[in-house]
């Protein structure tokens, strides 16, 4: 009975590989600065401007956790120390974060944030207020110029971003002030302009610095009851930052008043209309105050400078979570196979975990762990990896013919020896099939991890969705799909090495 050796050897080598991947991907022990951004074009660009400015100071390693999500997620990341700063807007801080009922100035905001360990400052130079907009042609036809005019047309279809729908300074407030009587649809902000252009919706929320307002010939409706506050772009940061990284803080101070509304609109247009990358736009602006960066071809986007980093991050997420899935899932499958009363509860629990939507599970883990990024992503992927491994281990062991079990018993082998030398080798093909299924599923599911700053090819997918840029989206989706195929091919090769020759399909 020497068939157990390949399976044991695989487990040892796989453990060494995952440990090496962990050590390789761990950052060097140096001072780090983590910058966050929300999931819309302007926030991505401002995050890159902050990153490159801080990097030029040469005082720390700087990372940009792109497109973390809405205000609640990014603010929570700042509070728990997962990021050190990000660009925010005074109106959002005032009404959404601090829940103030009356407008506050910058000094008042500073005083209110200080007990939370946070600071606000460095106004970058522009006001990006919320507004509602509709097609100019339709607005002319219906004689709609202001929001109070819009309230008289409940037949119009509203498509609003998810964040705007739930913010105090968004739909709930504006609906009350203007007495709107409509039931809006939730829509990704980057898709709203195309939805209006194709006639799927009539009204959407916009930012006043959006680049697509003119392109799609929209009329920005006047806020005649002055509901929306000022949204001056500022830097929201952890209070220890100026003392911890004084040179970096001094460099960031140079951004004060540097980005006016015209420059911000031009940079948004460079990303959304010309297909330029956020990093190149920020680099061009910081170099000469313009947005004259070169547009990238699809091949350049596919194999850009971030390709190696995203690949390593994706592999790290997949194989580290898979290794934990193997070391927990196989023993659970063994318990289910040999402890009949526990089989149904174990299989039911791992099955229920699989039904939880990925984003919902991540949203649950973030407040539980009080952080964003790699750890909650790894835990979520580990939980999703369990079902195929547990079920296939249980099935493989349960399907072993009784005659073979009796032969092992006749040899006088104890349970542990029978399991290691006879039964696991006989079930190896089925178990490996479950591991392969988990690995392939994890490659795809890992793309969701980018929405909480864990990196991987999902970063490009999130960016493509924010920009409605199919090329950028495909530059993330295609490598992820190719990686899934490579993983499946790799496990097919392992099948011939681990599974005893007599058990392979002819």
Per-residue pLDDT tens digits for 433-460 = 999 999 999 999 999 888 777 888 988 8
463 in the same domain as 316? yes
CA dihedral 129, 80, 450, 272 (to 10 degrees): 20
Instruction: Give the pLDDT of residue 12.
Output: 57
Is there a domain that residue 225 lies in? no
What mean pLDDT do residues 88-96 have? 92
C-alpha span between 177 and 77 (Å, rounded): 32
The H or E element containing residue 57 is: helix 41-57
C-alpha closest to that of 208 among 222, 188, 195, 197: 222
Q: What is the CATH number of the domain that holds 204?
A: 3.40.190.120
Q: Identify whether residues 156 and 57 lie together within a single domain.
A: no
pLDDT of residue 366: 79
Say yes or no: 495 and 354 in one domain: yes
The whole-angstrom separation of Cα 69 and Cα 188 is 11
414's enclosing H/E stretch is: none
pLDDT value, residue 421 = 77
Same domain (yes/no): 195, 108: no
Higher pLDDT, 202 or 413: 202
pLDDT in tens, 354-385: 888 887 888 788 778 877 788 899 999 999 99
Q: Over 70: is that where the pLDDT of 290 sits?
A: no
- Are residue 190 and residue 277 in the same domain, yes or no? no
Is pLDDT above 80 for 194?
yes
- Residue 13 within a domain: yes
Looking at the 3D structure of the chain, how many domains does it have? 3
Q: How far apart are CA 425 and CA 150, in angstroms?
A: 71
Residue 120 and residue 138 in one domain: no
Q: Are strands 185-186 and 159-160 parallel, antiparallel or unpaired?
A: parallel
Q: Write down the pLDDT at residue 3.
A: 46
Task: State residue 67's pLDDT score.
Answer: 84
Q: Are 448 and 430 contacting, i.e. CB atoms less than 8 angstroms apart?
A: no
Cα–Cα distance between 168 and 163 in angstroms, integer? 10
Q: What pLDDT score was predicted for residue 10?
A: 53
Residues 6+ apart with CB under 8 A from 38: 67, 68, 69, 70, 71, 74, 86
Q: Is the pLDDT of residue 32 over 90?
A: no
Name which of 304-308, 403-407, 460-464 the model is least confident about.
403-407
Both 244 and 323 in one domain: the answer is no
CB 332 within 8 A of CB 391: no
Which residues in 291-405 belong to E strands, given as ranges? none
How large is the average pLDDT for residues 87-110? 91
Q: Do residues 316 and 439 share a domain?
A: yes
Cβ partners under 8 Å of residue 386, min gap 6: 325, 328, 329, 332, 350, 353, 438
pLDDT grade for 4, boundaries at 50, 70 and 90? very low
Q: Do 247 and 58 contact (CB within 8 A), yes or no?
A: yes
pLDDT reported for residue 506? 42
Please check whether residue 460 is in contact with residue 467, taking contact to mean a CB–CB distance below 8 angstroms: no
pLDDT of residue 73: 84
List the CATH number of the domain containing 356: 1.10.3720.10
Return the pLDDT at 305. 80
In a domain, 461, yes or no: yes
78/198 same-domain check:
no
65 phi/psi in degrees, rounded to 5: -85, 95
Residues 93 and 201 in one domain: no
The last residue of one of the domains, among 190, 220, 250, is 220
The answer to whether residue 226 is domain-embedded is no
The continuous run of DSSP H or E covering 126 comes out as none
Segment 383-411 shows an average pLDDT of: 83
> Are both 100 and 134 inside the same structural domain?
no
Q: Which domain holds residue 310?
A: 4-23+305-503
Is 300 within a domain?
Answer: no
Are residues 17 and 48 both part of a single domain? no
Indicate the pLDDT class of residue 1, thresholds 50, 70 and 90.
Answer: very low
% of the chain with per-residue pLDDT over 70: 89
pTM: 0.73
Domain containing residue 238: CATH number: 3.40.190.10
């Amino acid at each position: 009975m020497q068939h157990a050796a390949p399976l044991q050897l695989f487990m040892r080598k796989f453990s060494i590989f995952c440990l090496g991947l962990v050590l390789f991907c761990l950052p060097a022990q140096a001072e780090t600065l983590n910058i966050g951004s929300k999931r819309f074009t302007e926030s991505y660009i401002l995050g890159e401007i902050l990153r490159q400015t801080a990097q030029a100071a040469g005082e720390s390693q700087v990372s940009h956790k792109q497109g973390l999500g809405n205000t609640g997620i990014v603010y929570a990341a700042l509070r728990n120390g997962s990021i050190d700063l990000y660009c925010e807007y005074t109106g959002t801080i005032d009404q959404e974060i601090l829940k103030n009922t009356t407008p506050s100035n910058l000094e008042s905001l500073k005083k209110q944030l200080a007990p939370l360990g946070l600071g606000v400052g460095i106004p970058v130079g522009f006001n990006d207020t919320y507004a509602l907009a509709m097609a100019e042609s339709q607005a002319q036809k219906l004689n709609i110029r202001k929001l109070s005019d819009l309230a008289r047309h409940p037949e119009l279809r509203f498509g609003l971003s998810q964040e705007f729908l739930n913010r105090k300074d968004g739909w709930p407030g504006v609906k009350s002030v203007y007495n709107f009587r409509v039931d809006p649809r939730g829509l990704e902000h980057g898709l709203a302009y195309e939805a209006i252009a194709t006639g799927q919706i009539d009204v959407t929320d916009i930012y006043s610095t959006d680049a697509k307002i003119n392109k799609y010939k929209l009329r920005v409706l006047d806020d005649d009851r002055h509901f929306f506050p000022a949204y001056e772009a500022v830097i929201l940061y952890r209070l220890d930052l100026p003392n911890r990284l004084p040179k970096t803080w001094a460099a960031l101070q140079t951004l004060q008043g540097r980005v006016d509304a015209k420059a911000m609109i031009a940079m948004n247009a460079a990303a959304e209309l010309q297909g330029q990358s956020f990093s190149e736009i920020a680099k061009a602006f910081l170099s000469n105050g313009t947005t004259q960066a070169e547009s990238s071809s699809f091949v350049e986007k596919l194999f850009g400078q971030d390709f190696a980093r995203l690949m390593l991050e994706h592999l790290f997420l997949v194989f580290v979570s898979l290794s934990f899935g193997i070391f927990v899932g196989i023993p659970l499958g063994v318990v289910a196979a040999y402890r009949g009363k526990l089989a149904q509860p174990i299989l039911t629990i791992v099955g229920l975990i699989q039904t939880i939507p990925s984003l919902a599970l991540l949203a649950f883990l973030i407040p539980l762990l009080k952080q964003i990024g790699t750890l909650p992503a790894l835990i979520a992927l580990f939980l999703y990896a369990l079902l195929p491994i547990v079920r296939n281990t249980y099935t493989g062991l349960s399907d072993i013919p009784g005659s073979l079990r009796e032969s092992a018993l006749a040899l006088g082998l104890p349970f542990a020896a029978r399991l290691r030398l006879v039964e696991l080798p006989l079930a190896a093909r089925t178990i490996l099939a479950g591991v392969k299924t988990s690995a392939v599923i994890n490659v795809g599911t890992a793309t969701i991890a980018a929405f909480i700053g864990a990196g991987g090819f999902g970063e490009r997918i999130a960016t493509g969705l924010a920009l409605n840029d199919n090329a950028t989206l495909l530059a993330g989706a295609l490598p992820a799909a190719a990686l899934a195929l490579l993983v499946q091919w790799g496990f097919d090769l392992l099948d011939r090495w681990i599974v005893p020759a007599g058990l392979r399909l002819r």
